[in-house]
């Protein structure tokens, strides 16, 4: 990818984030379901690419990459609303009768750099880690 193309993609992603559409749990869940659907639909292509690039057998690709990616997204789907729920914390006595809470909100766009020998699966580990606080975008 040329530098100009990367800059254009990053600009588009930042604009999408600034619009606020990525904050809703429904949008995030739709993205996770889309990843699961893409992995299921492209399982053969993913296996072929891993075999072509890294000489990974199909069984290893499925066990160490594809199945883990789907499981990570499914896990994230199950916990998403709970992760986004505000966390109640004790308020200072000086502010009585107020209440306090911690609200986890996305902070922006991130670049995920994965290990070269597990390029597909490691991406989802990073995705799961950041689901609560930011948006991960995969650029093919």
| pLDDT tens sequence across 1-56 | 688 888 888 898 899 889 988 888 899 899 889 989 998 999 999 899 889 888 88
Q: In which band, very low, low, confident or very high, does the pLDDT at 123 lie, cut at 50, 70 and 90?
A: low
pLDDT digits (tens, 9 = 90+) for 62-116: 988 889 888 888 998 999 999 889 999 998 888 888 999 988 888 888 777 766 6
Task: Answer yes or no: is 97 within a domain.
Answer: yes
Task: Answer yes or no: is 91 within a domain.
Answer: yes
How many distinct structural domains can be found in the chain?
Answer: 1
| SS3 of residue 128 by DSSP | helix
Task: Answer yes or no: is 106 within a domain.
Answer: yes
Task: Answer yes or no: is 3 within a domain.
Answer: no
| CA 125 – CA 73 distance, rounded (Å) | 9
User: pTM for the full model?
Assistant: 0.74
**Residues spanned by the domain of 100:** 21-136
Task: Answer yes or no: is 7 within a domain.
Answer: no
139: Cβ–Cβ under 8 A, 6 or more apart, which residues?
Answer: 1, 9
CATH number at residue 60: 3.40.605.10
């Amino acid at each position: 990818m040329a530098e100009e193309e990367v800059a254009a993609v990053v600009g588009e992603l930042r604009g999408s984030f600034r619009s606020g559409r990525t904050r809703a749990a429904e949008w995030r869940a739709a993205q996770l379901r889309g990843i699961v659907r893409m992995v299921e639909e492209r399982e053969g292509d993913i296996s072929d690419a891993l075999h072509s690039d890294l000489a990974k057998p199909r069984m290893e690709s499925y066990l160490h990459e594809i199945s883990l990616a789907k499981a990570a997204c499914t896990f994230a789907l199950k916990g998403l609303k709970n992760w986004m729920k505000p966390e109640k914390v004790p308020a200072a006595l000086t502010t009585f009768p107020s209440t306090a809470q911690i609200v986890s909100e996305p902070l922006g766009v991130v670049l995920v750099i994965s290990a070269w020998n597990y390029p597909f699966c490691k991406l989802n580990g990073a995705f799961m880690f950041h689901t609560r606080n930011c948006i991960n975008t995969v650029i093919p």
